[in-house]
């Protein structure tokens, strides 16, 4: 539950941050690094995240729960992953993210 609340909180700041600090850095590679850092913040169990291959940036759009549009991550659905831990503040750098689901 803490995890979900943190995610919601950070997503509120996405627009504000993306319009200033990180503008030139945004790309799918940026999204990849953000998701890798998110994965590192999750506590086990992580078997649902085995498709999150941190050595293959170009595979990010085929990772479980990740939806891309025009080569950017636009949706993150972690509903069925049974994740614990905290979400990195990095999630705010997913500037094209419009849908974030973490629990049913
Ligand atoms: C992850 O990606 C690397 C580089 O493409 C590849 O060599 C490796 O087999 C992949 N690992 C998994 C578990 O898919
Ligand atoms: C967000 O993702 C969830 C889970 O995939 C889906 O049920 C929901 O319809 C999506 N919402 C929007 C606004 O796309």
CATH number for the domain spanning 77: value is 3.80.10.10
For residue 59, give the ligand nearest its CA.
Answer: 1
* 91 touches 7 (CB < 8 A): yes
Instruction: Count the domains in the chain.
Output: 1
Is residue 74 scored above 90 in pLDDT? yes
pLDDT score, position 6: 52
Q: Atom 5 of ligand 1 has which residue's CA nearest to it?
A: 56
Q: Which residue has the tokens 């993210």?
A: 97
Q: How many other CB atoms are there within 10 angstroms of residue 51's CB atom?
A: 12
Q: From the CB of 101, is ligand 1 less than 6 Å away?
A: no
Per-residue pLDDT at 73 exceeds 60: yes
Whole-number pLDDT of residue 19: 44
Q: Is 58 in the pocket of ligand 1 (CB under 6 A)?
A: no
More confident residue, 7 or 102: 102
| Domain limits for position 19 | 2-101
Element (H or E) spanning 101, and its range? strand 99-101
3-class secondary structure, 72: strand
Record the pTM.
Answer: 0.71
């Amino acid at each position: 539950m803490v995890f979900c609340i943190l995610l919601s909180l950070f997503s509120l700041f996405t627009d504000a941050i993306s319009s200033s600090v990180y503008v030139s850095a945004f790309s799918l590679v940026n999204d990849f690094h953000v998701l890798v850092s998110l994965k590192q913040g999750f506590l086990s169990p992580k078997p649902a995240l085995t498709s999150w291959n941190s050595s293959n940036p170009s595979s990010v759009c085929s990772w479980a729960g990740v939806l891309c549009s025009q080569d950017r991550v636009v949706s993150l659905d972690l509903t069925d992953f049974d994740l614990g831990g905290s979400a990195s503040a990095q999630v705010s750098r997913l500037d094209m993210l419009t849908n974030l689901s973490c629990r049913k």
